[in-house]
Amino acid sequence: VTDAGHDGDQSIYINEGNRPVPAQAVEEELLRSIEEVEDRIKVFRNRVRAVLASAQTDGTEEGGDDAV
C-alpha cells in the first residue's frame, strides 16, 4: 500500500499483482460484492419462507383430516 498516486496525488493505492489499484475502486468493488451477497440472502430467505408456509399449510390440511 502506498499513499501517493502516480501523479503525486494523495490517493491511496493498493497493489494488485503488478498494477496499483486505487483504494476507492477496491472499496466500491467490495460494496458491490456485499450488495450481491445481500441480494442472494434475500432470495434465499424468500425461498425458505415459501417452503415453511407450504409445510405449515400441508400440516394444517393433514391435521384437518385426522379431526374428521
How many domains does the chain contain in total? 1
Q: Residue 64: pLDDT band by 50, 70, 90 thresholds?
A: low
Please check whether residue 57 lies inside any domain of the structure: yes
Please check whether residue 6 lies inside any domain of the structure: no
Residues 6+ apart with CB under 8 A from 39: none
Please check whether residue 7 lies inside any domain of the structure: no
Please check whether residue 3 lies inside any domain of the structure: no
Name the more confident of 59 and 28. Answer: 28
Domain extent, residue 32, equals 13-67
Please check whether residue 47 lies inside any domain of the structure: yes
Angstrom distance (rounded) from CA 21 to CA 37: 23
* Predicted pLDDT of residue 68: 47
| Residue 9 reports pLDDT greater than 50 | yes
Please check whether residue 2 lies inside any domain of the structure: no
Name the more confident of 14 and 62. Answer: 14
Please check whether residue 5 lies inside any domain of the structure: no
